[in-house]
Amino acid sequence: MWTSRNRARYDRSKLRYPSDLSDDEWALVAPLIPAGKPCGGKRTVIMREVMNGLMHVLSTGCQWRAIPKDLPPRSTIYDYFDLWTWDGTLDVIHHALYEKCREQEQRDACPTAAIIDGQSVKSAEKGGPRSIRQVTMRARRSKARSAIFLSIR
């Protein structure tokens, strides 16, 4: 419900971009981002800015080349996106935030039930629609392959 408390909580007008992380959101995400490699140079990029750039692309749907100039370079943001997708960091962040949302609603962290309709089950079978069609439809045979047709000649 949009109460005055909620309006203040969801107000993003004080942020540079609506997709930027607020301080509270960053406090949840920051511990989930892996530290830099122990060997090699010190990390020079600000991780909050990388995350803001990634959130900008994901929330606006803009092209990588259209990332605003005041965010890190698109190659940096894309490289972190690629790395975090590969090593599972984005999955960890998503799962942690998902559980946090469920706990705020005073629900179990993991859902205990799911609803699946018959249409979803049919289209999700191995092989998809082609295998369903073979099972549900009668096989069609040409007259040339029929034994009766061959015996008539």
Q: Considering only CA atoms, give the Rg of the chain.
A: 26
DSSP string for residues in 66-97: GS-TTSPPHHHHHHHHHHHHHHTHHHHHHHHH
Query: What pLDDT sits at residue 74?
Result: 92
Structure confidence at residue 149 (pLDDT): 47
* pLDDT at res. 101: 81
Question: Which pLDDT score, from 0 to 100, does residue 86 have?
Answer: 94
Residues lower than pLDDT 70 in the chain: 1-2, 109, 111-112, 120-153
User: Which pLDDT belongs to residue 5?
Assistant: 75
Residue 143: predicted pLDDT: 55
Residue 99 is predicted with a pLDDT of: 86
User: Does the pTM of the predicted model rise above 0.75?
Assistant: no
* DSSP of 96-115: HHHHHHHHHTT--SS-----
Instruction: Give residue 112's pLDDT.
Output: 67
